């Protein structure tokens, strides 16, 4: 449909409602289980950020931010770097550093990632605005999760807004602008302008382009965070934006009716492995088979993976870099069969990419689209793996979903174990304990945010 055909009747009321939620939500307003989940998600993101700091993507983008987004009167620190840049530059670099390790949380129905861009923006705003109230910052992060789940669905579930599947940056820009409006204390009309600017300037990137051609582009979360943070500062300065289609278009207004009643944050998933979520049901299926059978990888003759169409579009070619390893089905399956795990080392080890056993196992993989799995996607993501051994025995996993979905969420101990595994290269045991303690007490201990920011902001050790 053309822009002239959009119906914005009733849009003013929706803007009012979303503005009141965004600026008025108090930490205590959310149920206890939601508050606890937000803190676990924050700990998880801190681990991904610590791990992502050492990727080639992070090094390039942090240098780029320092060169091209220098600090003026507004400034924020680059995590695990120490250099000060503009808040927009910090959001860009932090978001892309998190995004460089595909281990961050996501939302099933959104088919994308909220926390990556939201945390990047939160750290930048808190630095520049001098906000260290842990309860306020947690409430702002919760606002980001709740808005993001709706902005993403509004973009993807209506032909009025996007005919193709777009990256998270396309809608997380609005999330980051809204978070800034709250922290800056913007009035209702300026809030609307901030969202309108972010919607217009957010990256409308085609996600399947990167699925088919893995590269450093990833999910454009950093670029979306940069656009959203820029939008909030621009609106504060008087820059104006157009109506917000994802809020005000009448055909999309139903997404906003349950704000504050239905907590979409509980619909987040968490990844046990640092690879594309679409590849994780097959990895989980192989793991289950390995637990039930003593599989000698040298005896494997064929591996059939039946799953939904989008997962079938992931690469099965031998990876040459970490991006290609993370957006792959055959590679993590082979790594799991050979090493019994898919962790940061497995997606970072260039020698493993060319290992003869890995290459042989990858060559055994055949992808098959399953209509039953297509019908369940995106609310349910499953795969079935059948392994045929040289002696003729066939092993069948049955339909398998990945751990970490809302109905199979990791417990607190598993969150901590994942955080430790991700962060151990950059943070020693004492520092990891300190990060976990700071996150756990953000809503009850004075100085917890300053301590957390200090731990996340420390420059590289010599």
What is the residue range of 297's domain? 277-402
Mean pLDDT across the chain: 95
Same domain for 27 and 160:
yes
Average confidence (pLDDT) over 133-141: 98
* Residue where a domain terminates, one of 382, 402, 422: 402
Q: What is the share, in percent, of the chain residues with pLDDT greater than 70?
A: 97
CATH code (residue 288): 3.30.1330.120
In a domain, 324, yes or no: yes
Same domain for 157 and 75:
yes
Residue 67 burial class via C-beta count within 10 angstroms: exposed 0-12, middle 13-18, buried 19 and up:
exposed
- Per the structure, the count of domains in the chain is 2
CA–CA separation, 417 and 219 (whole Å): 25
Same domain for 265 and 284:
no
Same domain for 326 and 265:
no
Q: Are 416 and 284 in contact (CB under 8 A)?
A: no
Q: What is the pTM of this model?
A: 0.95
Cα distances from 347 to residues 80, 153, 334, in angstroms, run 21, 30, 12
Same domain for 193 and 59:
yes
Same domain for 140 and 71:
yes
- Residues 178-206: tens digit of each pLDDT: 999 999 999 999 999 999 999 999 998 88
In a domain, 408, yes or no: no
In a domain, 457, yes or no: no
Same domain for 310 and 393:
yes
Same domain for 281 and 264:
no
Same domain for 149 and 208:
yes
Compute how many other C-beta atoms are within 10 angstroms of the C-beta atom of residue 429: 9
- Residues 89-124: tens digit of each pLDDT: 999 999 999 999 999 999 999 989 999 999 999 999
Q: What angle do CA 43, 45, 48 make, to 5 degrees?
A: 115
Average confidence (pLDDT) over 447-451: 96
In a domain, 116, yes or no: yes
The pLDDT confidence band at residue 209, using thresholds 50, 70 and 90, is confident
The whole-number pLDDT of residue 160 equals: 66
* Residue where a domain terminates, one of 221, 237, 269: 269
Going by C-alpha positions, the residue among 105, 79, 101, 102 that lies closest to residue 90 is: 79
The whole-number pLDDT of residue 213 equals: 86
Going by C-alpha positions, the residue among 95, 103, 105 that lies closest to residue 58 is: 95
* Residue where a domain terminates, one of 353, 387, 402: 402
- Residues 289-320: tens digit of each pLDDT: 999 999 999 999 999 999 999 999 999 999 99
In a domain, 196, yes or no: yes
In a domain, 435, yes or no: no
The whole-number pLDDT of residue 461 equals: 41
Question: Residue 454: pLDDT above 90?
Answer: yes
CA–CA separation, 180 and 140 (whole Å): 9
The half-sphere exposure of 159 on its side-chain side, counting CA atoms within 13 A, is 3
Element (H, E) at 385: strand 382-389
Q: What are phi and psi of 83, to 5 degrees?
A: -75, 145
Same domain for 224 and 309:
no
Same domain for 345 and 281:
yes
CATH code (residue 240): 1.10.4100.10
The whole-number pLDDT of residue 462 equals: 34
Q: What is the DSSP string of 78-110?
A: PTTT--EE-HHHHHHHHHHHHHTSTTS-EETTT
In a domain, 462, yes or no: no
Same domain for 387 and 244:
no
The pLDDT confidence band at residue 211, using thresholds 50, 70 and 90, is confident
In a domain, 207, yes or no: yes
CA–CA separation, 97 and 55 (whole Å): 8
CA–CA separation, 354 and 345 (whole Å): 14
């Amino acid at each position: 449909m053309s822009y002239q055909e959009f119906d914005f009747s009733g849009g003013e009321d929706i803007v009012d409602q979303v503005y009141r939620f965004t600026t008025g939500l108090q930490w205590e307003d959310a149920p206890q289980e939601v508050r606890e989940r937000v803190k676990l998600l924050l700990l998880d993101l801190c681990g991904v950020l610590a791990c992502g700091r050492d990727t080639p993507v992070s090094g390039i983008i942090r240098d780029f931010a320092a060169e091209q987004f220098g600090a003026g009167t507004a400034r924020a620190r680059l995590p695990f770097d120490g250099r000060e840049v503009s808040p927009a530059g910090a959001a860009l670099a932090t978001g892309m550093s998190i995004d460089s390790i595909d281990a961050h949380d996501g939302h099933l129905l959104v088919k994308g990632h909220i926390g990556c861009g939201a945390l990047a923006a939160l750290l930048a705003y808190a630095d520049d605005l001098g906000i260290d109230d842990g309860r306020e910052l947690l409430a702002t992060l919760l606002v980001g999760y709740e808005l993001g789940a709706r902005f993403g669905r509004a973009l993807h579930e209506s032909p009025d807004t996007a005919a193709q599947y777009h990256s998270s940056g396309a809608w997380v820009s609005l999330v980051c602008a809204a978070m800034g409006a709250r922290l800056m204390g913007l009035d209702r009309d300026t809030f609307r302008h901030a969202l309108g600017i972010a919607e217009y300037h957010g990256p409308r990137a085609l996600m399947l382009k990167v699925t088919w051609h893995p590269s450093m582009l990833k999910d454009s979360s950093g670029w979306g965070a940069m656009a959203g943070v820029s939008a909030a500062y621009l609106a504060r300065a008087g820059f104006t934006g157009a109506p917000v289609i994802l809020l005000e278009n009448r055909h999309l207004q139903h997404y906003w009716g349950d704000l504050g009643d239905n907590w979409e944050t509980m619909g987040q998933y968490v990844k046990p492995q640092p690879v594309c979520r679409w590849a994780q049901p097959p990895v989980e299926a192989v793991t289950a088979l390995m637990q039930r059978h003593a599989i000698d990888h040298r005896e494997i003759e064929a591996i059939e993976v039946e799953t939904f169409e989008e997962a079938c579009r992931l690469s099965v070619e031998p990876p040459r870099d970490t991006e290609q390893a993370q957006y792959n089905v055959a590679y993590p399956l082979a790594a799991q069969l050979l090493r019994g795990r898919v962790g940061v080392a497995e997606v970072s080890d260039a020698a493993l990419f060319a290992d003869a056993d890995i290459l042989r196992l990858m060559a055994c993989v055949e992808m098959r689209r399953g209509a039953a799995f297509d019908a369940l996607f995106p609310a349910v993501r499953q795969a079935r793996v059948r392994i045929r051994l040289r002696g003729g025995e066939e092993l069948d996993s049955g339909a398998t979903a990945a751990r970490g979905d809302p109905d199979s969420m990791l417990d607190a101990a598993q969150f901590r174990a994942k955080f430790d595994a991700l962060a151990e290269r950059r943070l020693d045991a004492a520092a990891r304990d300190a990060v976990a303690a700071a996150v756990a007490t953000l809503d009850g201990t004075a100085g917890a945010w300053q301590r957390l920011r200090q731990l996340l902001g420390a420059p590289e050790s010599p």
